[in-house]
Amino acid sequence: MDESGSVSSVDFTREKDFVAALADSFSNFGPNGVQMGVITFSTDAYLDIKLNEHSTKDSFMAAVRNIRQNSGSTYTDKALKLAKTGLFQTSNGARPGVTKMLLIITDGASSGNYRLCKLQLRISEK
């Protein structure tokens, strides 16, 4: 989730509400079903919620709504790198053989080189 300085507090709340609603839409949320994590990014990227951190969607949704916004530039590439090196690791709840999906919520152009990082993510899945 983009938390950069160009994202208003109202829009950041909308981002959190969207992610919570997405989680709420899954009937099979949990350790053996759908797992969700959250990375926020601006000048730096943070792994706010690991895939294995919440076993119920209610606790996940509450955690999402409690995320506080930082600000800074929009380094989407740092979020993509953290997805690969942090979020999608088995130590953080990623399960081998299970499809991984990444949704990026941002308000604009990246300050970093997200195209190169996107290519690295694609290559690592092959």
- Print pLDDT tens along the chain (126 aa): 999 999 999 999 999 999 999 999 999 999 999 999 999 999 999 999 999 999 999 999 999 999 999 999 998 889 988 998 999 999 999 999 999 999 999 997 788 776 666 666 665 554
Identify the DSSP state of 94. Answer: P
Q: H or E segment at 46?
A: strand 45-49
Distances (CA, A) of 120 to 70, 74, 83, 98: 27, 19, 11, 19
Q: Could you tell me where the DSSP H helices lie in the chain?
A: 9-24, 57-65, 76-82, 114-124
Contact between 94 and 51 (Cβ < 8 Å): yes
pLDDT score for 72: 94
